[in-house]
Each structure stands twice: as structure tokens, then as C-alpha cells.
Amino acid sequence: MRILVWPVHGGWMNAFARGAHEYLLPVGDAAPPGLPGNARAVEPGRLRAEDIDVVVLQRLEELDETERILGAVPGRGVPAVFVEHNTPKRRPVDERHPLAAQDRIPIVHVTHVNRLLWDTGDARTVVIEHGIPDPGHLYTGELPALGVVINEPVRRGRVTGTDLLPAFARTAPLHVFGIDADLLPGALGLGPDRLQVIGDLPTPRLHAELARRRAYLHTPRWTSLGLSLLEAMSLGMPVLALAVTEAPRAVPPDAGAISADPEELSAMAARLLADPDEARHRGAVARAFAQERYGLDRFLTDWDVVLDDVVSRHRARTRRAGSETERPKEGVPS
């Protein structure tokens, strides 16, 4: 298939574009770095000549953008699916999804908790859990510190659990990766002995550097499921995660610790810092679990099933509409 898709979320896109299709990105001359060879940048003005089979939407504005660049309404003129990456932002229990009042564009949730929380009304829904390209078992744990990956931790604040970091820093040094992580020391008042900012690194370097830390700390309070958590597990790192949203499904207890009580996580952090062998063992458990549940082959297979279904349903509707148009009206000679 030829799939029109915007490169919105780098980690998800890196996995999605590894399938057996052609992935057309309406971003001009060059695709974002690090994407597989099946992903091809196309000038938006040339997309009408590309014979698009299906559109994978991830933001509401892409509905209008698709109609503008293809001259076809998503779900009517061209098959489309909408990937919901996020938990509800305003009302966690009863927030109505913007696509809830239609039945032509299925909503693909990336976690089961997403589908549980969103009110999706008449829309068809399916869950396709994340898939992670295997980064390799890179874990060494040589540095007695906790690795943390948070983008924009100061701006996002309590959502990402930034306020919890000082308490964890009393137990173990924190080494923080991510966009705008350099704002953290000033915001939290932590010195370099308690918090080191590594910054925003390209994915291969991020994986290599993260794997040198003794354990991974995952503090978001309200997120669908951070890919950095799954990547850390795939690296062979033991993980310490708040037991919120989808994390209890993603982290088995023997992979480190998962709890809504930060003190329990801090206690396990101290234990892992004192016992590298236990950390290595728990990291191996984390990697095995992540590879089984969040493997790339399962992810791509699930997507092939959904894309085939969406295109087949669209073709069937188009044929029915054509037959009704051609059918002679009663009393009118054919």
C-alpha cells in the first residue's frame, strides 16, 4: 500500500514505517533523520499523483490538510484511520473524542487504557499496542545513577512527575535526557551531585548512554504509555515506574518496581544501586517481557490487519454507492 502519514511521534513512526508498505510523508524534500528506507518525503503539491491507498491520521488538523492536498475527504474520498496517542486532556472519565460522532474513520488506540478512558461514541475502535524495534541488549548499569527521559519537564510539570524528582534524587543521582532538560537544575534547585542533564540525544546515542545507568525511572502521572519506558526495558534495564495508566500492564513486578507510592520506588532504587547483580537480573526480565509483548513483528502484523480492513470496507462502500447510482429509478426506462 501507499500510506500517507505525518511524522508526528518519532518513536512510533520509526516502528510504523518498518512495515512492507510505502510511507509517504508530506514534509517537502527530506524525511526526518533515522526513519527506515520505506519512508519517503513528498512535496504536498505532488501527492495527488501518488495514488494514495490509505491515510493514517494522528492530529485533528490533518483531516483538513488531507482534503486540501489530496482533494478527498478522509473516510469518504479516501480510506483513513486515526491514531489516538494520548489520554484525554480535560476530563479523564467522560471526555468525548472529536471523532466520536462518525463511523467511517476507525480510531486506533495505542493502549487499552486509552480506549477505556475516551468516550468514542459511534466510532469503531481497535487497540494496537506499541511495537519497539529491538535496540539490542546494551545494558551495562556501570553508573550508579537513575536514567530519566522527559521532554519539556519544566513546562509539563506535574503531568510528567517533575515535582517527584527531588525526592528520588535524595536516594540516587538522576541523569536526565530529553528536550529542555537543561531547565531542570534551576527549576528544582538540585546541584550536579544530585542531577546531571545529558540532554536531547539522537536515538542510537540515547540508547547507548541510557543503558550505562543502573536503572530507569519513569515518573509521568498522566500519559498513554511512554515509549522511553519500553525502550529502556528492551535495552535490558530494570525499571522503576509509577503504577498509573498503562504502566501496570507494561511492567511486570520482577522487572524492577511498579507502585503508586514513590517511597516504594525509592526503596527499590537504593536496593538496585547496592546490588548490581540484582539490577542485571531484573533488567533481563524487563527485556524478555518487552520483547514478547511489544515486539515489532506483532505490531506490524496488527497494523496490516487494520489497514486491510479499512481499505476493504472503503471499497465495498464505494461499490455499493456506485450500484445505487446506476440503478434505474422506478418507472423510468433503463
* 47-60 pLDDT, tens digit each: 999 999 999 999 99
Note the pLDDT of residue 319: 85
Q: Label residue 326 by pLDDT band (50, 70, 90).
A: low
The full set of domain ranges for the chain reads 2-131+297-326, 143-290
Q: Label residue 18 by pLDDT band (50, 70, 90).
A: very high
Q: Are 109 and 115 in contact (CB under 8 A)?
A: yes
Lowest mean pLDDT among 12-16, 88-92, 247-251: 88-92
- What CATH number matches the domain at 2-131+297-326, 3.30.420, 3.40.50, 1.20.58, 2.40.128? 3.40.50
Which of 240, 217, 227 shows the shortest CA–CA distance to 294? 227
Cα separation values, 117 from 60, 73, 94, 293, Å: 19, 28, 7, 22
Note the pLDDT of residue 29: 76
Note the pLDDT of residue 31: 80
pLDDT higher than 50, residue 44: yes
Please tell me if the domain spanning 2-131+297-326 has the same topology as the one spanning 143-290: yes
Instruction: Determine the 3-state secondary structure of 284 from DSSP.
Output: helix
Name the CATH architecture for the domain at 143-290. 3-Layer(aba) Sandwich (3.40)
Phi-psi region of 306 (alpha: psi -120 to 50; beta: other; left: phi over 0): alpha
Handedness of CA 199, 200, 206, 210 (dihedral sign): positive
Query: Measured between alpha carbons, how far is 106 from 303 in angstroms, rounded to an integer?
Result: 13
Residue 295 carries which DSSP code? B
State how beta strands 125-127 and 107-109 pair: parallel
Residue 188 has which C-alpha cell?
Answer: 528544582
Strand partners, 175: 147, 196
pTM, two decimal places: 0.91
Query: Measured between alpha carbons, how far is 14 from 18 in angstroms, rounded to an integer?
Result: 7
- Mean pLDDT for the stretch of residues 61-67: 97
- Which residue pairs from 35-40 have beta carbons closer than 8 angstroms and sit at least 24 positions apart in sequence? 35/7, 39/7, 39/13
Query: Measured between alpha carbons, how far is 129 from 295 in angstroms, rounded to an integer?
Result: 10
pLDDT higher than 60, residue 329: no
- Half-sphere exposure (Cβ direction) of 142: Cα atoms closer than 13 Å: 5
Interval 67-120: pLDDT, tens: 999 999 999 999 999 999 999 988 888 999 999 999 999 999 999 999 999 999
Interval 253-279: pLDDT, tens: 999 999 999 999 999 999 999 999 999
